[in-house]
Amino acid sequence: MVSSSESAQSQTKVPASSSKKLEHIAVVMDGNQRWAVANNKSVSEGHRRGAETLKNVIRGAAELGVKYLTVYAFSTENWDRPDDEVSGLMEILQYHLLNSVDEINENGVRLKFIGDRSKLDPELLPLLDEALRQTKDNKTITLVIAFNYGGRSEIVRAVKKLAKEVLADKVSPEDVTEAFFEEYLDTRGIPDPDIFIRPAGEKRISNFLLWQSAYTEFIFTDVMWPDFSKEHLEKAIQEFGERNRRYGSR
């Protein structure tokens, strides 16, 4: 993951045009299956290779001074994939929760999970909670893992929570602003992404961070996720630094 010596160098490697503005990168980790087919590997091997790529990207993002990295690991729609693929993804998550948290913690990575926990294996939830507990005070970079996550699902769950509080007279409808509503989202306390990166050639957001991406800069690349490297990350950051973010103004 991220070594202390590497993180100490992080503030010197971001282009000046990007470092003042860039705080949060979101990534759709797409292309594992197509990479596996192209390389005569199993789909499970593609996902395992993708998990290794994530380690390298976390390291690279930390070196470049990024404070938040959000990755789309498993969507609410991914349950429709073949059972063996879903089981393989769950096993990869469980493996890393059991075997990688110490390494993550030692390297200053704070973990957060967003998504609907209700459909996850009950045996997985204590592992998630323990990983959050162990890493909650780390400050090098925050890794936000979107697991059983969907942007529409997140908004609906937030509306339901807010509606219950309105019905209980805990909240007045007049109190509700965009900032107020954001406190009910999974991402409360996390800044909106500056860059949204999607590898593997697809040019859509696939129900990822719908609310949060209103003014995000989108960068698409044909590189499959298992082949995505720090150099690709640097290229995306450089492109971001060349853009003029107006937020609706002129």
Higher pLDDT, 147 or 88: 147
- Is 60 exceeded by the pLDDT of residue 4? no
Q: pLDDT category, 236, cuts 50, 70, 90?
A: very high
Average pLDDT over residues 11-16: 42
Where does 4-150+191-241 sit in CATH, by number? 3.40.1180.10
Q: Is the pLDDT of residue 174 over 60?
A: yes
Residues taking part in catalysis: 30, 78
* Confidence grade of residue 218 (pLDDT, cut at 50, 70, 90): very high
Cα gap 15→241, rounded to integer Å: 8
What is the pLDDT, as a whole number, of residue 75?
Answer: 97
Residue 148 has pLDDT above 50, yes or no: yes
Best-predicted range by mean pLDDT (3-17, 119-133, 176-190): 176-190
- pLDDT tens-digit series, residues 40-62: 999 999 999 999 999 999 999 99
List the one residue out of 206, 204, 208, 210 whose CA is nearest residue 182. 210
Q: Which of 197, 186, 167 is nearest to 24 (CA)?
A: 197
Domain spans of the chain, in order of start: 4-150+191-241
Q: Is 171 exposed, middle or buried (0-12, 13-18, 19+ CB in 10 A)?
A: middle
Residues 99, 3: Cα–Cα separation, whole Å: 17
Q: What is the pLDDT of residue 247?
A: 77
Q: Which residue would you say has higher pLDDT here, 2 or 182?
A: 182
